[in-house]
Amino acid sequence: MDNNKKYIDMSLEEFSNILAAKTTMPGGGSAAAYVASLGNSLASMVANFTIGKKAYQEYDKNMEAILKDTEKLNLRLLELVDKDAEEFLKLSAAYSLPKGSEEEKILADKEKQKCLKLTASVPMDLLKECKNIVDLHEKLSIMGSKMLLSDVGVGVLMVRSAALSAKINIAINIKYILDEDFTKKYESDMQVLVKYIEEKCDKIYNEIYYKICK
């Protein structure tokens, strides 16, 4: 397989196989971004099936706006699939820098700290996008075709999973960052975003499940 091939250009089978292989990349971060992209794609699908339908014509403009948002989100999320691996590669290289002299140790530590921040920024970006996807699913749970409510339910579960995956990936990186202002800010932002996403996803899912089963 071409080592320079982007993950987003791989087939589902290729990506699944390389993820399963004994390689450092891709890992959980790339998988989480891809899962979020699937949750976003489900939002797009529901909007596509809703728009133009007579029973939902009052929501056509809403669906058009959602489709524009999901298109932008899709590009961003697929970008994060590869970016997670790219930043991890830089971090791995930083850990391998020579540390023979005191000057080399200082330079290596400085590079490692810089790379840790960049690596932590990828799952933080993913968390922010997960919030955006959840907000779209919330609208679809109200305005989307009732025939596709279960797809909204699956979508929010995927986003919830991606968000919790991002949370653990942020945590493992900021654990080794010495900049306390940075870590406090990331910890605070992470907790706020995850709480918002979890609560909204659970609410949407439970409401949909009730509607389907009643």
Give the burial class of 55: count Cβ atoms within 10 A of its Cβ; 0-12 exposed, 13-18 middle, 19 or more buried: exposed
Q: Is residue 155 part of a domain?
A: yes
Q: Is residue 148 part of a domain?
A: yes
Alpha carbon of residue 26 to chain centroid: 14
Other Cβ atoms closer than 10 A to 1: 9
pLDDT in tens, 124-135: 999 999 999 999
Q: Is residue 187 part of a domain?
A: yes
Q: Is residue 115 part of a domain?
A: no
Q: Is residue 5 part of a domain?
A: no
Q: Is residue 154 part of a domain?
A: yes
| Nearest partner of 159 among 113, 200, 118, 103, judged by Cα | 200
Counted domains in the chain:
1
Through-space distance between the first and last CA atoms of the chain, rounded to whole angstroms: 50
Q: Is residue 145 part of a domain?
A: yes
Distance CA 36, CA 126 (A): 8
Domain containing 128: what range?
29-84+123-213
pLDDT in tens, 33-85: 999 999 999 999 999 999 999 999 999 999 999 999 999 999 999 999 999 99
Q: Is residue 97 part of a domain?
A: no
pLDDT in tens, 162-181: 999 999 999 999 999 999 99
Other Cβ atoms closer than 10 A to 95: 12
CATH number at residue 141: 1.20.120.680
| Nearest partner of 159 among 190, 128, 187, 119, judged by Cα | 128
pLDDT of residue 76: 97
